[in-house]
Amino acid sequence: MAWIGIGPKLGTGYALSPDRGATFAAPELLAGNLGDPIVASGTDSSFYIGYLGE
């Protein structure tokens, strides 16, 4: 999943789930707010993140 973080660490964050959403790995934060995030995955377990412009 991906989100726009607010507060002391403004930016776009994401976290991966190894078990279809039951639990999540520690969140990662990308620098800056890049816009509303969009997430997709490939058949080979690739992870893609894109953004809608602000």
Task: Note the pLDDT tens digit of each residue in 19-53.
Answer: 988 999 998 887 677 778 888 889 998 888 888 87
Please report the pLDDT score of residue 25 as a whole number. Answer: 93
Domain ranges of the chain: 2-17+26-52
Backbone angles phi, psi at 3, to 5 degrees: -160, 165
In this prediction, residue 7 has a pLDDT band, given cuts at 50, 70 and 90, of low
Please report the pLDDT score of residue 13 as a whole number. Answer: 85
Only one residue has tokens 């992870």, namely 47
CB 37 within 8 A of CB 12: yes
Which of 19, 9, 13, 11 shows the shortest CA–CA distance to 39? 13
CB 43 within 8 A of CB 4: no
CB 12 within 8 A of CB 33: yes
